[in-house]
Amino acid sequence: MDWPGAAALGDPFMLQDYLADRTPDQIAKDFGPPFARELFAQKPGAWTGPIESGYGWNLVFVESLTPERASTFEEVEPDVKTAWLATRKEEAWKEAYRKMREKYDLLLPAPPEEAASPTPGVAR
Protein backbone atom coordinates (compact mmCIF):
# COMPACT_ATOMS: atom_id res chain seq x y z
CA MET A 1 0.00 0.00 0.00
CA ASP A 2 1.30 3.44 -0.85
CA TRP A 3 1.02 6.13 1.78
CA PRO A 4 1.67 9.51 0.09
CA GLY A 5 4.80 11.11 1.49
CA ALA A 6 5.55 8.27 3.92
CA ALA A 7 8.73 7.22 2.09
CA ALA A 8 10.21 10.68 2.55
CA LEU A 9 9.72 10.52 6.31
CA GLY A 10 11.87 7.46 7.00
CA ASP A 11 15.15 5.90 6.05
CA PRO A 12 15.30 3.61 3.01
CA PHE A 13 14.80 -0.04 3.91
CA MET A 14 16.69 -2.88 2.24
CA LEU A 15 13.72 -5.27 2.35
CA GLN A 16 10.19 -4.79 1.08
CA ASP A 17 8.30 -1.92 2.62
CA TYR A 18 4.92 -3.68 2.27
CA LEU A 19 4.60 -7.15 3.75
CA ALA A 20 1.18 -8.72 3.22
CA ASP A 21 0.01 -12.20 4.10
CA ARG A 22 2.89 -13.04 6.43
CA THR A 23 2.65 -15.39 9.39
CA PRO A 24 4.19 -14.54 12.77
CA ASP A 25 6.93 -17.12 12.05
CA GLN A 26 7.77 -15.48 8.72
CA ILE A 27 7.96 -12.03 10.31
CA ALA A 28 10.04 -13.43 13.20
CA LYS A 29 12.49 -14.97 10.71
CA ASP A 30 13.08 -11.61 9.02
CA PHE A 31 12.77 -9.19 11.95
CA GLY A 32 13.18 -11.27 15.12
CA PRO A 33 10.70 -12.94 17.49
CA PRO A 34 10.21 -9.91 19.82
CA PHE A 35 9.28 -7.72 16.83
CA ALA A 36 6.80 -10.32 15.53
CA ARG A 37 5.14 -10.72 18.95
CA GLU A 38 4.75 -6.96 19.32
CA LEU A 39 3.56 -6.49 15.74
CA PHE A 40 0.85 -9.14 15.95
CA ALA A 41 -0.40 -7.67 19.24
CA GLN A 42 -1.30 -4.38 17.50
CA LYS A 43 -4.75 -3.32 16.37
CA PRO A 44 -5.19 -3.05 12.60
CA GLY A 45 -5.85 0.26 10.88
CA ALA A 46 -3.28 2.46 12.61
CA TRP A 47 0.37 3.37 12.74
CA THR A 48 2.19 1.98 15.76
CA GLY A 49 5.65 1.93 17.21
CA PRO A 50 8.43 2.37 17.46
CA ILE A 51 8.95 -1.38 17.61
CA GLU A 52 12.53 -2.65 17.82
CA SER A 53 13.70 -5.21 15.27
CA GLY A 54 17.06 -6.53 14.18
CA TYR A 55 17.20 -3.52 11.82
CA GLY A 56 16.55 -0.86 14.44
CA TRP A 57 13.39 0.93 15.55
CA ASN A 58 10.39 0.83 13.23
CA LEU A 59 7.10 2.64 12.85
CA VAL A 60 4.66 0.28 11.19
CA PHE A 61 1.16 0.47 9.79
CA VAL A 62 -0.85 -2.66 10.44
CA GLU A 63 -3.41 -2.76 7.66
CA SER A 64 -5.13 -5.97 8.73
CA LEU A 65 -4.62 -9.20 10.63
CA THR A 66 -5.97 -12.53 9.45
CA PRO A 67 -6.51 -15.15 12.13
CA GLU A 68 -4.37 -18.24 11.73
CA ARG A 69 -6.00 -21.41 10.49
CA ALA A 70 -5.00 -24.96 9.76
CA SER A 71 -4.00 -25.54 6.15
CA THR A 72 -6.11 -27.80 3.99
CA PHE A 73 -4.69 -31.03 2.59
CA GLU A 74 -4.78 -29.59 -0.92
CA GLU A 75 -2.64 -26.62 0.21
CA VAL A 76 0.09 -28.75 1.75
CA GLU A 77 -0.02 -31.81 -0.51
CA PRO A 78 2.69 -30.62 -2.98
CA ASP A 79 5.12 -29.73 -0.16
CA VAL A 80 4.48 -33.00 1.68
CA LYS A 81 4.98 -35.00 -1.51
CA THR A 82 8.23 -33.16 -2.30
CA ALA A 83 9.56 -33.74 1.24
CA TRP A 84 8.57 -37.42 1.13
CA LEU A 85 10.30 -37.93 -2.23
CA ALA A 86 13.44 -36.18 -0.98
CA THR A 87 13.52 -38.44 2.08
CA ARG A 88 13.08 -41.57 -0.05
CA LYS A 89 15.87 -40.43 -2.40
CA GLU A 90 18.22 -39.80 0.53
CA GLU A 91 17.42 -43.24 1.99
CA ALA A 92 18.06 -44.88 -1.38
CA TRP A 93 21.46 -43.19 -1.71
CA LYS A 94 22.44 -44.22 1.83
CA GLU A 95 21.46 -47.82 1.10
CA ALA A 96 23.39 -47.81 -2.18
CA TYR A 97 26.53 -46.49 -0.45
CA ARG A 98 26.14 -49.06 2.35
CA LYS A 99 25.99 -51.89 -0.20
CA MET A 100 29.06 -50.53 -2.02
CA ARG A 101 31.03 -50.30 1.24
CA GLU A 102 30.18 -53.94 2.04
CA LYS A 103 32.20 -55.01 -1.01
CA TYR A 104 35.44 -53.51 0.28
CA ASP A 105 37.74 -54.00 3.25
CA LEU A 106 39.37 -50.89 4.57
CA LEU A 107 43.02 -51.35 5.47
CA LEU A 108 44.84 -48.56 7.23
CA PRO A 109 48.63 -48.38 7.54
CA ALA A 110 50.06 -48.86 11.01
CA PRO A 111 50.81 -45.61 12.78
CA PRO A 112 54.44 -44.48 12.59
CA GLU A 113 56.69 -45.56 15.43
CA GLU A 114 56.62 -43.06 18.23
CA ALA A 115 59.90 -41.55 19.28
CA ALA A 116 61.60 -43.49 22.06
CA SER A 117 61.05 -40.56 24.38
CA PRO A 118 58.29 -38.12 23.34
CA THR A 119 59.15 -35.82 26.25
CA PRO A 120 62.80 -34.83 26.65
CA GLY A 121 64.33 -36.25 29.80
CA VAL A 122 61.63 -38.89 30.28
CA ALA A 123 62.56 -42.49 29.61
CA ARG A 124 60.09 -45.00 28.30
Q: How far is residue 68 from each of residues 3, 21, 23, 47, 65, measured CA to CA in Å?
A: 27, 11, 8, 22, 9
pLDDT in tens, 96-117: 999 999 999 888 888 888 655 5
What is the pLDDT, as a whole number, of residue 107?
Answer: 86
Q: Note the pLDDT of residue 3.
A: 56
Contact between 27 and 36 under an 8 Å Cβ cutoff? The reply is: yes
Q: State residue 12's pLDDT score.
A: 66
List, as one string, the DSSP characters of 68-119: --PPPHHHHHHHHHHHHHHHHHHHHHHHHHHHHHHT-----PPPPPPPS-SS
pTM of the model: 0.49
Note the pLDDT of residue 96. 97
Count of CB atoms within 10 A of residue 61's CB?
Answer: 15
Q: Measured between alpha carbons, how far is 108 from 3 in angstroms, rounded to an integer?
A: 70
Give pLDDT < 50 ranges for the chain.
1-2
The DSSP code for 29 is: H
pLDDT at residue 1, rounded to an integer: 46
